[in-house]
Amino acid sequence: MEGLKKAFARAKSENRTPLVAYVTAGYPKIAQSVDILLAMEAGGADIIELGLPFTDPIADGPTIQLANTQALENGTGTKACLKMVRDARARGLRAPVVFMGYYNPLLAYGEERMFQDAKSAGVNGFIMVDLPPEEAVRFRQHCTTEKRMKLLCGIADSFIYVVSRMGVTGATGVLSSGLPDLLERVHKYSKGIPAAVGFGVSTREHFLEVSKVAEGVVIGSQIITTLKNAPSGEGAKAVEEYCYSITQRRNPATSVINGQTNGHSNEQSNGTSISTAANVNGDGSGWVSRSDAGEPPKDISTADPTKQPASESDPTNGKVHVDAVVDGTDGPGIVDQLEALNTDDPEPELMPSRFGEFGGQYVPESLMDCLAELEKGFNDARNDPKFWEEFRSYYPYMSRPSSLHLARRLTDHVRKNCKEGMGANLYLKREDLNHTGSHKINNAIGQILVARRLGKTEIIAETGAGQHGVATATACAYFGMKCTVYMGAEDVRRQVLNVFRMKLLGASVVAVTAGSRTLRDAVNEALRKWVEKLDTTHYIIGSAIGPHPFPTMVRTFQSVIGQETKEQMNTLTGRLPDAVVACVGGGSNAVGMFHPFSDDLSVKMLGVEAAGAGLDTDKHSATLSGGKPGVLHGVRTYVLQSDEGQITDTHSVSAGLDYPGVGPELSGWKDSSRAKFVAATDNEAFIGFRLMSELEGIIPALESSHGIFGAVELAKTMKQDENIVICLSGRGDKDVQSVAEELPRIGPEIGWDLRF
């Protein structure tokens, strides 16, 4: 950290403001990164931020997000980033270098190992975008926003990164209206530690204007844009010239314009004391290789579907109508999010809830005000009897309580295929009979009631299989609220019927084409959009995932499933069930069924994940069975990830289970062994789908079909006087097209032929 302090002190002694220059490691090519670092210093940069690319950067704007994606496609990993700094030091780089990125790759690499290797390579510090100060210092007290400012300033040991932006046009050099007041608060608690203001700065005029109130200026997006627009092979030269246009000073010792660094190595070293010894493991081995497997999704159209035949919104002809497409190239990022937040009246903040080591709030500061407001509103609501009275008043609309009955023929089938005396009774908790066809309506109604108490008028949501999107659109129509649903483009293709249902209900559907084009990418986009209109908008997350209080909120509203099951089984059998079973993706129906039984140790809890093509392949979504602890979408939980902490692509025939994370409460139950988790393959899910359809006359959702198969296998190991309840979380009309498309492949493997 001394290098950072000296850089600010040197600039101060020269009566100038230091430039902090950002670039994404490995962009546009790994081989160009060292030259770019040297070019930044040559153009007058005092400090360099090297962005560590991450697959799911919820805080980044479109420019840097695209650079992240390209860098990962190039194979940029943590070892490669360390090697870049090591090589740049060997070629004479003197400017302090700060690694800037997300917590999960650091966690996967190992914190202590990262600190040691980074120091050896010549890295001077870290900025972790989604590691809150409470986590960094294990702070465990309630704090107001003013105390939070004091905490943030108190733990900074080199400089304080202040995020703001220029005026709306970005061309006049006018300061953000809230920036002077914000800097005044920072300086109040910083005890002389310099503050560097970043984002939105792109010209010399901007730089000089910000310099009037801050001790440093950060520029990132414009450097990425400069690299993008530079002729092939001239990126470093363009960056040096751009930095010089900002600082009006050069460092000829590292200039790439005069050719002094091109083609040289240690002979250009300035004698720095930082070790640059080669590392045999620093050759980039283990880099993450990203490629889009399989065929691309079918065409997505934003044309008005009312002016075209309904048949044109059909997967067989390759076109699905949505309201908009998000490809990561437009829209505001963290800067625009923080702009409003820094001037809002703060709400008290509460510490996050945990389930063992899992849970928390691993999010950028831009989301903290949103979460604090939501947590307070939710806590007030759940402690108010009138809130629950209102919630229950909508039971007739929701079709609650949902029915529970014995699946007689399915039970008989089990007993015919297991040892004598074995074969537990299988009961069905019929969440598929709820209004909108799944359990999702429970959470949608509950969260909208909270949103209304908070004065919100607009709702955004994400969806995978479309059931949560349909439930949210339904509730919004019922309560007269504007609704926008984000959905991965691949899921749009798979769930055409639900896309059209959402639009019929008045919702806008936005297809997300970034990343794997599935649920995780929809969550990323929804999180980014949430804080743009915090004063009017609430984000209804559909599963028991995300930062606190979302997992607790979703579990609270979905617990009606388990509570009713308890009462209904006591009425039918006079006792609790011996086991409850649910499918597991993010975990909303599972946590809703399991939580009311979590203290009833006589009741087994079995979650069934999506094994896809098999757990021995990389084409599955079984997070608890095949993942490891990490941080994704603001929560510490089990995650499917590479050795370097990049989130891996998932696969399931079921769109609703196609997610690389899981609710933190389920993770806690896994580690405590309170619940057991297994995984069913695509083929096994189809077996469950067929059994329920042919034996009980119920076409289940493909998500629920995983749980059905798992319950059947469990029943074979239990006695005939024991009872199992399956959470039949959704109906399968949405999946009929998917089943028809997959049956030619899967059918022959399981002996199911529906050809005429």
Q: How far, CA to CA in Å, does 34 sit from each of 46, 70, 242, 283? A: 16, 17, 17, 14
3-state helix, strand, coil in the chain (%, to 5): 45, 15, 40
Structure tokens at 419: 């040892």
d(CA 542, CA 544): 7
Task: Quickly list H helices, 495-611.
Answer: 496-504, 519-530, 550-558, 560-573, 588-594
DSSP-derived pairing of the beta strands 319-321 and 299-301: parallel
Q: Produce one character per residue of 326-355: b if its CB has 16 or more CB atoms within 10 Å, e if not.
A: bebeeebbbbbbbbbbbeeebbebbebeeb
Q: How many CA atoms lie within 13 A of 89 on its CB side?
A: 23
Catalytic residue at 60?
yes
Encoding tokens for residue 228? 């993008």
**Interatomic CA distance for residues 297 and 490, integer angstroms:** 5
Query: In Å, what is the CA distance from 407 to each residue of 100, 131, 425?
Result: 55, 48, 8
Tally of CA atoms within 13 A in the half-sphere of 345 that contains its CB: 1
Q: Which of 56, 60, 117, 432 is catalytic?
A: 60
Provide φ and ψ at 704, rounded to 5°: -60, -30
390 catalytic residue (yes or no)? no
683: nearest Cα among 620, 606, 630: 620
How large is the greatest C-alpha to C-alpha distance in the chain, in angstroms? 89
Candidate list 49, 365, 665, 713, residue with the active-site label: 49
Residues 6 or more apart whose CB falls under 8 angstroms from that of 182 comprise 162, 164, 342
Is there a contact between 527 and 60 (Cβ–Cβ < 8 Å)? no
Closest CA to 209 of 263, 256, 166, 148: 166
Q: Taking the mean position of all CA atoms in its chain, how far away is CA 254?
A: 39
Residues forming a β-bridge with 422? 719
Q: How far apart are CA 83 and CA 582, in angstroms?
A: 46
DSSP annotation of 233: T
The residue among 535, 582, 534, 592 whose CA lies nearest residue 562 is 592
Q: With beta carbons less than 8 A apart as the criterion, state whether 365 and 160 touch.
A: no
Please name the amino acid found at residue 598: S
- Residue 417 in 3-state DSSP? coil
Cis peptide before 629 (omega within 30 of 0): no
Residue 270 neighbours by CB under 8 Å, 6+ apart = 92, 94, 253
Cβ(583)–Cβ(589) below 8 Å: yes
The 10 Å Cβ neighbour count of residue 444 is 28
Catalytic residue IDs: 49, 60
